[in-house]
Amino acid sequence: MKNNVNRELPEKWMQKWDYQGYQSSQTGNPVIQRVAPKVHVSTGDGKVVDSLEQLVPKLVHNGMTISFHHHFRNGDFVFNQVMRVIIDAGIQDLTLAPSSLTDVMNDIVIEAIQKGTVTQITSSGMRGSLGDFVSHGHLKNPVIFRSHGGRARAIEDGDLRIDVAFLGVPNADRLGNANGMAGQAVFGSLGYALMDAQYANQVVLLTDNLVAYPNTPASIKQTQVDYVVPVAQVGDPDKIGSGATRFTKDPKELKIASLVNEVITHSPYFQDGFSFQTGSGGAALAVTRYLRQSMLDHHFQAAFALGGITKPTTDLLNEGLVRKIMDVQDFDRGAAESMQTNPKQQEIDASWYADPNNKGAMVDQLDIAILSALEVDTQFNVNVMSGSDGVIRGAIGGHQDAAHAKLTIICAPLVRGRIATIVPAVTTIVTPGDSIDVVVTEYGIAINPRRSDLMAALQQIPGVPVLSIAELQALAQKKVGQPQPLTFTEQTVALIEYRDGTIIDQIKAVQD
Amino acid sequence: MKNNVNRELPEKWMQKWDYQGYQSSQTGNPVIQRVAPKVHVSTGDGKVVDSLEQLVPKLVHNGMTISFHHHFRNGDFVFNQVMRVIIDAGIQDLTLAPSSLTDVMNDIVIEAIQKGTVTQITSSGMRGSLGDFVSHGHLKNPVIFRSHGGRARAIEDGDLRIDVAFLGVPNADRLGNANGMAGQAVFGSLGYALMDAQYANQVVLLTDNLVAYPNTPASIKQTQVDYVVPVAQVGDPDKIGSGATRFTKDPKELKIASLVNEVITHSPYFQDGFSFQTGSGGAALAVTRYLRQSMLDHHFQAAFALGGITKPTTDLLNEGLVRKIMDVQDFDRGAAESMQTNPKQQEIDASWYADPNNKGAMVDQLDIAILSALEVDTQFNVNVMSGSDGVIRGAIGGHQDAAHAKLTIICAPLVRGRIATIVPAVTTIVTPGDSIDVVVTEYGIAINPRRSDLMAALQQIPGVPVLSIAELQALAQKKVGQPQPLTFTEQTVALIEYRDGTIIDQIKAVQD
């Protein structure tokens, strides 16, 4: 069977897991019965448990689904501690359902797969040795990749039922009131973890900072927490920050950022009270800087910035250029600490951020999204998941979600080294071209023909060459040539869910 | 059938509504499957609806359950507006399930009952003409009275399923982000309404203050709201405040407050880091003042104050004598405005406050509760619901919930006019004597014999006469004589739920 973006889907898994193929980026107006957890009633006394070794076998049983958050990113000390205990306890056949997997988790996940501890994974992404391992077909079941909004939807609608969530926090009291803002290993918004806290049947907090009761502000509430486990250290503060936090000097990135700024400021969405999500990384930070100047020049304020927040964005908040920050995740310590002091930086959970089956998520109200890509094809489909060698090395993150913005801009270099970014057909479709409006490269921009309004608005910007996406692709191919087609085995190693829970693509095992 | 406090229960309703009789004030450790609402998916655009007249018939249908909050108390302009439209639309057979009913709602509820619009009510309480009307048997089904924690439990466990909630707020944006802290008719914490916002299948906000999107802090979130209806005025700021806000000069109240303070300070719970709930009213405010001095004298700080918050309590927060306020409701504008500026004043919902089927509610952690009573009997059972004439004129409020404190003190004058407060048997049992520890009157205190530890601790306080509860009752009877026994018909007009959802008593129709 093929779906609406012409991708072949594996009938075995589609049937076994009762999946539908992707149809459309529009959700419509269904009425959805949400689900709720089982609550183990207590007075709240006796939640503090010193030994993970004693607690884990009481809670985690063969076949269960367990979860973690990835707010500590590569500074995470929690995941390895818990998984070590789970593996050593001999527990089998678990579904691992973290909000995402970071590189520091790779070794132990591979070990858990090899020992039969983990037989199924759902995540936003994976990279490095784990991506390679899975891409070679070593996991029993295909990984299910979901966007952050898609994970929220799956949890709220009952597609992903978490038995036990293990959530690291930089502070908590003895009943489990906790936030991400104070302590040694602060990461700011608990946005993704709030889903697990609200919906998991049992919630275990791990903290290196047991504070006086009652701990406020309580992002995670005592009413959601079953156990609190004191540990030596939940994270390495120096490794929590992700990506570039300094202004790029790369001329290609600066060129792209400048073109993105031109596209934004010439679009009909750039007006007082507009909204944007820029994300992290060198080009994104550069866009934020250019955008700041444009806002000053036009005397515009943004109604809100969304995301994935960095210090340059909280600086805009302090400067009054951004009125509110809606904050599901903080990419650096500056942004994390700002949330503690600035009430205009509102913590939001992944549902509020992007669950498509909602009464309006933030992304539904978003004007402008700046997103990256590993590949974009001539149908404007975007791949942020698999490399040009077909190996899993990415994460959906909020890509499908933020692409729901009124103006979605993909910024990417035309080529990376000897590899084209703009291609005839992406290796893996993550975000459908249907929701992409403009592609910006250092050689010029391509506008989705679906958007004739933008064609008109952006056609005549001085210094901004407008090409067709086919022309961009041809230009890339001219530079790097036509690569050998990839070869895969027949084994499906991953399914890519669209945010609405349909399947937009699969990833097959690589053939070395 | 009789329950564990020896009250006869109406078999017809116990069977029809599948109720159990009250057994114990201890909840134990059940595992409870919670429920979740149906979500009507949208992008969030188009929520603002100008006309209640057009909206109500679309949402409210015969036989549904509708709800309101009572945070505006007697300054409420929302309830009457909505009920007028519902009655005029000819809708029938509704269950009215507000967090409570205040006097300004009485006339239209009576009209709604008379016209068949409302055939069932569940509430924390009712007073005045409505209490009189119901006590005379004019409602088709018995009213179900629930405590605030009991209502939260009923909502979360699925006993009370709300189809449409109409919630007035002093500010909201076009998607429904709202709080109770800013605007003309501020009431502070949205604690009770947060249950409706989270669990009702459809949520309609009414506001007189449509603010820029996105509105923060968002106590009610856009993900919970279906419609936003702008109205001229949601409430009268001058009538939102409840009860006394000035220090009492009544010597009887001062005497009681002083004795309460002696009981507290001589109890084992009075130490640095203790916690308390004092509530509103003259004696409560006086207790807070005495307690302040005792805390200063002993260099003690309270870890938290809970409740029902008044300005004298937020003053303690600002003074540093209280470290945190856990705030489910604000009784005056001072307390409401303090929540906006002081991050140590944490808004909590009714579940966190007092749902007994929880992973630890605030009341489970509460050391000392000061509560009032219409009647206390020689088994320490308390009535806060029916008058000495048997007519409904009260509200459970958080009475059953806060009585879960480690030290629950009932303060009440021995007699009120010609009516005894301490009686052989209360007219209606609301809070079981099992959870009451000390009764304080202006003539002395009585300690529940169950609490031999308190007997020892409180026996020898200079100036604090300790009597048995029977002695207090005899003293009251000596002063006012023995009243004629009340006569009731066989019709059950109300059931009193204990907070765990069992039935602790019934109220029968009065015989004039």
* Residue A285's pLDDT band (cuts 50, 70, 90): confident
Could you give the 3-state DSSP secondary structure of residue A108? helix
Please indicate, yes or no, if residue A42 is contained in any of the structural domains: no
Could you give the 3-state DSSP secondary structure of residue A254? helix
What single-letter DSSP state applies at residue A362? G
A317 CB neighbours in chain B (<8 A) are none
Contact A61, A319 (CB under 8 A): no
How far from each other are the two terminal CA atoms of chain A, in whole angstroms? 27
Angle formed at CA B452 by CA B447 and CA B455, multiple of 5 degrees: 50
* Residue A242's pLDDT band (cuts 50, 70, 90): low
The pTM for the full model equals 0.97
**CA contacts within 13 A on the Cβ side of A507:** 38
Q: What is the 3-state secondary structure (H, E, C) of A117-178?
A: CEEEEEECEECHHHHHHHHCCCCCCCEEECCHHHHHHHHHHCCCCCCEEEEEECCECCCCCE
Average pLDDT over every residue of A481-499: 96
Same domain for B259 and B359? yes
* Residue B240's pLDDT band (cuts 50, 70, 90): confident
The two structure tokens encoding residue A306: 């969304």
Judged by a CB distance cut-off of 8 A, whether residue A41 touches chain B is yes
Strands A382-383, A375-377: pairing is: antiparallel
Average pLDDT over every residue of A327-344: 92
Q: Which residue blocks in B19-91 are alpha helix, DSSP H?
A: 52-59, 78-88
**Is the pLDDT at B282 greater than 90, yes or no?**
no
Average pLDDT over every residue of B176-205: 97
- The pLDDT of residue B462 is 95
Choose the closest CB to B346 out of A156, A218, A303: A218
Same domain for A265 and A225? no
The two structure tokens encoding residue A269: 């969405």
Distance CA A494, CA A120 (A): 10
Neighbour-count burial for B253-292, b at 16+ CB within 10 Å, e otherwise? bbbbbbbbbbbbbebebbeeebbbbbbbbbbbbbbbbbbb
Distance in Å, alpha carbon of A36 to nearest chain B alpha carbon: 5
A44/B365 CB distance under 8 A: yes
Contact B205, B178 (CB under 8 A): yes
Select from A188, A208, A239 the last residue of a domain.
Answer: A239
- The pLDDT of residue B248 is 82
Strands A164-169, A202-207: pairing is: parallel
Domain that holds residue B225: 11-19+56-239
Where does A48-116 show beta strands of DSSP type E? 65-67, 94-96
Please indicate, yes or no, if residue A334 is contained in any of the structural domains: yes
Neighbour-count burial for A321-358, b at 16+ CB within 10 Å, e otherwise? bbbbbbbbbbbbbbbbbbbbeeebbbbbbbbbbbbbbb
Please indicate, yes or no, if residue A26 is contained in any of the structural domains: no
A273 CB neighbours in chain B (<8 A) are 212
- Domain count for chain A, please give it: 2
Q: What is the 3-state secondary structure (H, E, C) of B105-163?
A: HHHHHHHHHHCCCEEEEEECEECHHHHHHHHCCCCCCCEEECCHHHHHHHHHHCCCCCC
Residue with tokens 């549904």: B64
- The pLDDT of residue A145 is 98
Distance CA A190, CA B151 (A): 29
Choose the closest CB to B360 out of A175, A212, A359: A175
Q: Pick the more confident residue, A398 or A243.
A: A398
**Percent of chain B at pLDDT above 70?**
99
Q: Other CB atoms closer than 10 Å to residue B12's CB: what's the count?
A: 10
- Residues linked to residue A415 through DSSP beta bridges, in sequence order: A420
Distance CA A275, CA A264 (A): 11
Please indicate, yes or no, if residue B392 is contained in any of the structural domains: yes
Q: Is the dihedral of CA A22, A23, A25, A31 positive or negative?
A: negative
B41 CB neighbours in chain A (<8 A) are 27-32, 356-359
Query: Choosing among B39, B161, B304, which should be mutated to test the A contact, i.e. which has the most A CBs within 10 A?
Result: B39
CA-closest candidate to residue B430, choices B353, B495, B350, B357: B495
C-alpha torsion angle, residues B233, B238, B244, B246 (rounded to 10): 140
Residue with tokens 């806000």: B245
Distance CA B345, CA B311 (A): 12
A156 CB neighbours in chain B (<8 A) are 36, 39
Distance CA A56, CA B289 (A): 48
Judged by a CB distance cut-off of 8 A, whether residue B30 touches chain A is yes
Backbone angles phi, psi at B350, to 5 degrees: -65, -25
Same domain for A196 and A301? no
Judged by a CB distance cut-off of 8 A, whether residue A65 touches chain B is no
Same domain for B204 and B123? yes
Give DSSP secondary structure letters for B437-487. -EEEETTEEEE-TT-HHHHHHHTT-TT--EE-HHHHHHHHHHHH-PPPPP-
A346 CB neighbours in chain B (<8 A) are 214, 216-218
Amino acid residing at B15: Q
B30 CB neighbours in chain A (<8 A) are 41
Query: How big is chain A by its Cα radius of gyration, in Å?
Result: 22
Same domain for B327 and B446? yes
Q: What is the CATH number of the domain that holds A456?
A: 3.40.1080.10
- What's the pLDDT tens digit per position in B375-414? 999 999 999 999 999 999 999 999 999 999 999 999 999 9
Query: Choosing among A24, A32, A39, A349, which should be mutated to test the B contact, i.e. which has the most B CBs within 10 A?
Result: A39
Select from A239, A267, A301 the last residue of a domain.
Answer: A239
**Percent of chain A at pLDDT above 70?**
99
> Which residues are CB-contacts of A88 (< 8 A; sequence separation ≥ 6)?
none
- What's the pLDDT tens digit per position in A65-120? 999 999 999 999 999 999 999 999 999 999 999 999 999 999 999 999 999 999 99
**CA contacts within 13 A on the Cβ side of B390:** 19
- Whether a cis peptide bond, with omega within 30° of 0, leads into B214 is yes
Amino acid residing at B430: V
Could you give the 3-state DSSP secondary structure of residue A485? coil
- Whole-angstrom CA distances from A222 to A204, A230, A307, B351, B364 are 11, 16, 26, 11, 11
Average pLDDT over every residue of B199-219: 98
* Residue A244's pLDDT band (cuts 50, 70, 90): low
- Does residue B133 come out as left (phi exceeding 0), alpha (psi in the -120 to 50 range) or beta? alpha
Contact A439, A380 (CB under 8 A): yes
Same domain for A283 and A167? no
- What's the pLDDT tens digit per position in B247-258? 788 999 999 999
B343/A217 CB distance under 8 A: yes
Same domain for B208 and B293? no
Contact B371, B351 (CB under 8 A): no
- The pLDDT of residue B219 is 98
Average pLDDT over every residue of B14-18: 98
Distance CA A221, CA A228 (A): 12
Distance CA B287, CA B260 (A): 7
B224/A344 CB distance under 8 A: no
Please indicate, yes or no, if residue B488 is contained in any of the structural domains: no
- The pLDDT of residue A280 is 76
- The pLDDT of residue A162 is 98
Please indicate, yes or no, if residue B4 is contained in any of the structural domains: no
A356 CB neighbours in chain B (<8 A) are 41
> Which residues are CB-contacts of B313 (< 8 A; sequence separation ≥ 6)?
B278, B288, B305, B307, B322, B325, B335
Same domain for A223 and A290? no
Host H or E run for residue A52: helix A52-59
Same domain for B234 and B256? no
> Which residues are CB-contacts of B218 (< 8 A; sequence separation ≥ 6)?
A346, B177, B178, B179
Judged by a CB distance cut-off of 8 A, whether residue A33 touches chain B is yes
**Is the pLDDT at B221 greater than 70, yes or no?**
yes
Judged by a CB distance cut-off of 8 A, whether residue A294 touches chain B is no
**Is the pLDDT at B455 greater than 90, yes or no?**
yes
Same domain for B228 and B259? no
Amino acid residing at A42: S
The two structure tokens encoding residue B477: 């009877």
Host H or E run for residue A368: strand A368-371
Please indicate, yes or no, if residue A463 is contained in any of the structural domains: yes
Same domain for B188 and B320? no
Distance CA B39, CA A29 (A): 10
- The pLDDT of residue B243 is 55
Same domain for B197 and B287? no
Backbone angles phi, psi at B74, to 5 degrees: -80, 5
Distance CA B330, CA B342 (A): 14
- What's the pLDDT tens digit per position in B307-347? 999 999 999 999 999 999 999 999 998 999 899 889 899 99
Please indicate, yes or no, if residue B442 is contained in any of the structural domains: yes
* Residue B140's pLDDT band (cuts 50, 70, 90): very high
Q: State the complex-level ipTM.
A: 0.96
**Is the pLDDT at A504 greater than 70, yes or no?**
yes
